[in-house]
Amino acid sequence: MCGIVGIVGKEPVAPLLVDALKRLEYRGYDSAGVATVDHGHMDRRRAEGKLINLEKRLKEEPLAGTIGIGHTRWATHGVPNEANAHPHFSGDVAIVHNGIIENFWELREELIADGYQFSSQTDTEVVAHLVSREIRNGAAPVEAAHNALKRLRGAFALAIMFRGDDNLIIGARNGPPLAVGHGDGEMYLGSDAIALAPFTDTITYLEDGDWAVVRRGEFAIYDMDGNPVHRAPQKSVGTAFLVDKGNHRHFMEKEIHEQPEVIAHTLSNYIDFSTMTIKPLKSKIDFSAINRLAISACGTAYYAGLISKYWFERFARLPVDIDIASEFRYREMPMAKGDAALFVSQSGETADTLASLRYCKNQGMTIGAIVNVRGSTIAREADAVFPTLAGPEIGVASTKAFTCQLSVLAALTLRAAEKRKTLSPEQVRVHVQALIEVPRIASQVLHLEDQITRVARELANVKHVLYLGRDTNFPLAMEGALKLKEISYIHAEGYAAGELKHGPIALIDENMPVIVIAPHDHIFEKTVSNMQEVAARGGKIILITDEKGARLSTVETMETIVLPDVPEFVAPIIYALPVQLLAYHTAVFMGTDVDQPRNLAKSVTVE
Ligand code: AGP
C-alpha cells in the first residue's frame, strides 16, 4: 500500500519528508519520491527501490523549500520505476496518491484529446492534469482541486501542491486513510498516525468524501459538495515512539517474540482475573439474541476468523458463516436483520474487509470489529470494537496480531457461551484459566527456536511444502503455508488432513516435506492415519505435537517438534508460534526481505 506525507512547515522539509516516509516503509513499496516548492520554484526527486536511493538523489541534488509532499509507491498501474514514481507533475501542480482511480482510462483519453501528454503509466497522473487544466481554465488552486476531485471515481488518498502557493496543500480521502497532523505553526498530512508521529500526536482523520485545505497553522475540511465539515482531532496514542527493531534483525522476529507480552496485554482487556470470567462487553452485540454470526476478513486475519468458527459453533452453539472478504463483499449473502457480523483486521483499512462491513451494515446487521489500529476506518464504522493490543505491527507478515486476534475471538466465544448458557459458569472458568496460561506457555515455546531453525535450514532447500491439520489446526495449516510462501517465496499449501486422499496425496514424494500440526487432541488418531499415508509414499514429515502425541505417533518423522501440553481450546494460539518461527527462519536462510517481502503491502487498501 502506498504511503503519503505532506508538510506545510517552517524549516527545510525534504529531510523531514524522507523521515516520515521511512515510518511508512512497513507498508511495502517499490519506489519513492518527494517534491517541494521554494520561492515559486517547484521541483522533485524520485528513485526506484528503497528510500536509501532517494536519499542518495537528495544528497546529490538537494531540494530547498519549507513545503513539500512525499510518497512511497506500491505499484498498481505501471511498473515500479522512476517515471511512474510519485509525485506526478502537471503544469503548476504536484500530486501524490494512494489508491486506484477507477475511471482513469476515460479521463486519460479526455485529457489526451485536450492536448495533455502523459509521462507515466499511472492512474495518478490524470489527477495532476485534471487539476492543472482547471487552473489553466482560470480556477484558483483550491477550486481547481475541488473541481478535479468531483470527476474521480474509485479509491484515493491524495496530497496536492501548487507552484504558485507555498502555503497550501490540499488533502482528499475516499477509501485509503489520510490524516491531518496539527503542529506548532506547521501542518501535516499523512497516511496514518505512524507517519506523523515524528511531528505530532494530534491528528484529525478525514472521512470518505472529505477534502482538506491545509495551510500553516490552519486547516479546513469540506465534503464533496463543498460544505464545511467538522472532524474531531484525536491523540494518536501509542505511536509517538519511533517503532524500532530493538536487538532483533527484523521487525517480524521482534514481533514473534513480543507475543507472550502482547497476548497477556490483550487478554487483560477481556478477562476479569478476580472472578475468572470474561468482562461484560460494552457492545451492541447481544450474543444471546442472535441466531447466526457472519465473519469476514482477509489473509491471516481470515484464518483467525476460521479458527473462531470452530470455537463459536462448538462452545456457544452459534452457527457461523465465514468467507474471505473479497468473495463475501460480492456474494450478497442473505442476512437476517439483527444478526451480527464480525470483521477481523490488523490494519483496520483493508478495502475488501471494509466493503464487506459496509454490505452487512446496509443489511441492518450489528457490526463488530477486531482491529489493531483503534482510529482505523473499520473501527470507526463498527458498532462495537474489540481491540487487539498487539502494538504497531510493522512486519508485513502478520504474527502478533494473529495470536492477539485469536485471543480476542476466544474471549468473545466464552462470552457468547456464557450469554447463550451453552457453557456452565464452571466450564467458562476452566476455559478462562486455559487462556490465562497462554502467555506463559507461549514463552516456553519460543525456547524451541534453535530446533525450529535447524528444520528451517532444511526447508530452505525445497520448492514445495504441504501443511496438514484437522479441526482448528486446519486453518492454522493454511496460515502456516501463507507465512512460509509470503516471506520465503517457497510454494506452500495448507490442507485439511482428511482431504489428502482426495487429491493432494498425488503430490507426495521424498521432495515434498509435509508439516503436520497435530497436538494430541480428540482427533489425533485420524491425523496419525494421514501421516501413515504420507510416510508410505516416501513423504518427509515434520510433526508439531505435544509429548503424548510424540509418544503415540507410530510414524517415523524427519523431525518432531514437541510443545508443552495445552488444553485443546487454546492450542491454535500456541501452535501458531512454531509455524511463524519456521517461516521466519526459512526466509532468513533464503535471504529474502523478511519485513517487506516482494510484491506485498502491509495493508491492502485497494481492491
Ligand atoms: C498476513 O501475513 C498478510 N500480510 C496478509 O494476508 C494480511 O493478513 C491481510 O492482508 C489482512 O490484513 P488486515 O489484517 O490488515 O486486514
pLDDT, position 606: 76
Known catalytic membership, residue 282: no
**From ligand 1's centre to the CA of 597, what distance in Å?**
13
Ligand 1 pocket check for 392: Cβ under 6 Å: no
Amino acid at 171: G
Ligand 1 pocket check for 300: Cβ under 6 Å: yes
Place of cell 514424494: 509
pLDDT in tens, 550-607: 999 989 999 999 999 999 999 999 999 999 999 999 999 999 999 999 888 888 887 7
For 157-171, 246-260, 337-351, which range has the lowest pLDDT when averaged over its residues? 246-260
**Residues comprising the chain, all counted:** 607
pLDDT in tens, 303-323: 999 999 999 999 999 999 999
Q: pLDDT band for position 219 (50/70/90)?
A: very high
Ligand 1 pocket check for 405: Cβ under 6 Å: no
Best residue among 256, 296, 302, 346 to mutate for probing ligand 1's pocket (most ligand atoms within 8 Å of CB) is 346
Give the separation between CA 554 and CA 560, rounded to whole angstroms.
12
Tell me, yes or no, whether 353 and 393 share the same domain.
yes
Tell me, yes or no, whether 159 and 274 share the same domain.
no
- The count of structural domains within the chain is 3
Confirm whether 556 is domain-assigned.
yes
pLDDT, position 508: 94
Confirm whether 600 is domain-assigned.
no
Nearest-5° Cα angle at 339, 321 to 354:
65
Confirm whether 284 is domain-assigned.
yes
82: containing domain: 3-240
Tell me, yes or no, whether 518 and 543 share the same domain.
yes
- As a whole number of Å, the CA-based R_g of the chain is 25
CA 297 to ligand 1: nearest atom: 16
Confirm whether 606 is domain-assigned.
no
Tell me, yes or no, whether 159 and 289 share the same domain.
no
The catalytic residue among 254, 485, 540, 602 is 602
CATH assignment at residue 430? 3.40.50.10490
Tell me, yes or no, whether 479 and 567 share the same domain.
yes
Indicate which residue's Cα is closest to atom 9 of ligand 1.
Answer: 299
For 113-117, 196-200, 401-405, which range has the lowest pLDDT when averaged over its residues? 196-200
Ligand 1 pocket check for 388: Cβ under 6 Å: no
pLDDT, position 69: 98
pLDDT, position 104: 87
**From ligand 1's centre to the CA of 603, what distance in Å?**
6
Q: pLDDT band for position 483 (50/70/90)?
A: very high
* Angle between helix 400-419 and 299-315 (nearest 10): 20
What's the Cα-to-Cα distance from 483 to each of 107, 258, 419, 595, rounded to whole Å?
Answer: 40, 17, 35, 12
**From ligand 1's centre to the CA of 166, what distance in Å?**
38
Tell me, yes or no, whether 147 and 199 share the same domain.
yes
pLDDT, position 240: 44
Q: pLDDT band for position 332 (50/70/90)?
A: confident
Tell me, yes or no, whether 185 and 254 share the same domain.
no
Average pLDDT over residues 59-80: 89
- Single residue among 216, 240, 264 that ends a domain in this structure: 240
Task: Report the percentage of the chain scoring pLDDT > 70.
Answer: 98
CATH assignment at residue 153? 3.60.20.10
pLDDT, position 604: 84
Known catalytic membership, residue 360: no
- Single residue among 445, 460, 491 that ends a domain in this structure: 445
Tell me, yes or no, whether 44 and 99 share the same domain.
yes
Give the separation between CA 313 and CA 84, rounded to whole angstroms.
49
pLDDT, position 241: 47
Tell me, yes or no, whether 143 and 225 share the same domain.
yes
**From ligand 1's centre to the CA of 131, what distance in Å?**
34
- Which stretches does DSSP call E strand in 192-339? 202-205, 210-215, 218-222, 234-235, 271-272, 277-278, 293-297, 320-324
- Single residue among 240, 267, 294 that ends a domain in this structure: 240
Tell me, yes or no, whether 555 and 565 share the same domain.
yes
- 489 backbone φψ class: left, alpha, beta (φ>0; ψ -120 to 50): left
Confirm whether 92 is domain-assigned.
yes
pLDDT, position 237: 59
Confirm whether 338 is domain-assigned.
yes
pLDDT in tens, 234-286: 887 545 445 667 668 999 999 999 999 889 889 989 999 888 899 988 788 99
Confirm whether 99 is domain-assigned.
yes
